[in-house]
Amino acid sequence: MVSVCVSALFLSPLVTSAQSLAAPTLTLAVSKTSIVANAKPAYNDLPTISWSSTNATSCSASGTGWSGAVALAGNQKVNPPVTTTYTMTCAGAGGSSQSSVTLTVMPAGTTQVASVIGAFDQMTNNATAQTQAGFKHTWSRNLRVGSSYTNDVYALQTALTLEGVYATEITGGFYNKTLAGVKQFQQKYGIDSTGFVGSLTRAQLNRLYGN
């Protein structure tokens, strides 16, 4: 009986240590492998990157419009302007695991392929098809970092996502990542890239998405 107890005392820390040093695992997937450039789909129809991990204490991502520390599991809408490979690395006491997915952005001129992909997407999600041209909002107030107009900022972030210049959670808060997205939007349409949503930027937004 004594020998059994002594063995248990010595083996228990070893088992615990082995469990804590288990190698991390990572599962990474994207809902679509290709999109058409400048297609401006409905927000819910944007490609979604999903991931989950085990035995990890931290994860980070890299790719156009989405990079930095992320949760150990989750999903993220993306809309890159060019073909992009998204890479995620998860690390823990037992090492690290890395995985990548590639989202191909086809030129807008590839109409035949685009039509096939578009038709398939619409057949698999009628609700999305009905809202393909459905996002509308009119911006009548200037917006800047810290603006309290939550509805306007929420709509702004949605528009920036559809434009492929914002790939972060839509919160209604105007902070650094929204500022960076606004600057990219302004550069895209030849507006002075200050990050301030003034009359020229609002006019462009309203031309694209206004009621």
Q: Report yes or no on 1 lying in a domain.
A: no
Q: Give the Cα separation of 170 and 185 in Å (integer).
A: 16
User: Does 198 score more than 90 pLDDT?
Assistant: yes
Domain range for 97: 23-107
Mean pLDDT of the chain: 80
Note whether 102 and 148 are same-domain residues.
no
For residue 199, what is the domain's CATH number?
Answer: 1.10.101.10
How much is the average pLDDT of 136-155? 93
Note whether 156 and 103 are same-domain residues.
no
Q: Report yes or no on 62 lying in a domain.
A: yes
User: Does 202 score more than 70 pLDDT?
Assistant: yes
Question: Is the CB of residue 98 less than 8 Å from the CB of residue 87?
Answer: yes
The pLDDT of residue 168: 83
Q: Report yes or no on 154 lying in a domain.
A: yes
Q: Report yes or no on 125 lying in a domain.
A: no
User: Does 99 score more than 50 pLDDT?
Assistant: yes
Burial class from Cβ neighbours inside 10 Å (0-12, 13-18, 19+) for residue 79 reads: buried
Question: pLDDT tier at 144 (50, 70, 90 boundaries)?
Answer: very high
Q: Give the Cα separation of 146 and 47 in Å (integer).
A: 29
Q: Report yes or no on 123 lying in a domain.
A: no
Q: Report yes or no on 51 lying in a domain.
A: yes
User: Does 94 score more than 80 pLDDT?
Assistant: yes
Please tell me which residue, 205 or 13, carries the higher pLDDT value. Answer: 205
Q: How many domains does one find in the chain?
A: 2
The pLDDT of residue 123: 44
Question: Is the CB of residue 48 less than 8 Å from the CB of residue 30?
Answer: yes
Note whether 46 and 98 are same-domain residues.
yes
Provide the percentage of residues in the chain whose pLDDT is more than 70. 78
The pLDDT of residue 131: 34
What pLDDT digit, counting tens, does each position of 21-69 carry? 789 989 898 888 888 887 777 777 888 898 999 999 999 998 877 778 9
For residue 30, what is the domain's CATH number?
Answer: 2.60.40.10
